[in-house]
Amino acid sequence: MNIRHHLNDDLLLDYAAGRLSEGWSLAVACHLAMCPQCREQLALAEATAGVMLEELAPVEGPDDSWEQLKARLVTAPQDNATPIRRPSSATLPEPLRGYLGGDLDTIKWRNLGNAKQVLIKTGDPTTQARLLCIAAGKPVPEHSHGGRELTVVLKGSFHDEVDRFGPGDIEDADGSLTHQPVADEHEDCICLAITDAPLKFSSRLVRLVQPILGI
């Protein structure tokens, strides 16, 4: 897998520090599952943070902190969920399969013309997560962004005004970019897209049906 588009340093550091919301964290985690180079960078960031923590002066906690911890352990709910088994031919990385309840063969797509999507439920009210499948050789409508959009390619590839993005690549877009992603001709492009604001479509017709389509 030849990954050319990686996480920027700010995203990686915020992920390592636990400062990202759930939606952004999902995109970062999926890229990390496919990118050995960024996993190495994450390990370095976590090691650096560990050294910094060791240099901090200890802070006294409440006198009954140990008793509080034991009480929380006793009353913590048990996770009885059945673990999702990874199929030998799985296309989607974890943790995405956990959100969807399986791999591509379990997905019920909603058609959007040249593309289809499934909305992904998270506990994060600040972002929208969706899995997209763009038909081979077809474009999605030209658009810019009302906020930030992280797109992780999981299968296939697409190209736009920036570059070509293949499996494992991540595109980080904002309001400064207007583009029209086009799936490469050899296969459908499946990608995870996270946004924190509605897209801004150039087409008036698409804007009219945008609330119905949920994009």
Domain containing 8 equals 1-55+93-215
> pLDDT at position 49, please?
63
pTM over 0.75: yes
CATH of the domain at 7: 2.60.120.10
What does the pLDDT average to over 163-189? 97
Give the number of domains in the chain.
1
Non-local (6+) Cβ contacts of 161 within 8 A are 177, 178, 179, 180
> pLDDT at position 45, please?
83
> pLDDT at position 170, please?
98
Tell me if 128 is assigned to some domain. yes
> pLDDT at position 48, please?
72
What does the pLDDT average to over 188-202? 96
Does residue 95 have a cis peptide bond before it, meaning omega lies within 30 degrees of 0? yes
User: Does the pLDDT value for residue 59 go beyond 70?
Assistant: no
> pLDDT at position 8, please?
93
The conformational region for residue 168 under phi > 0 = left, psi -120 to 50 = alpha, else beta, is left
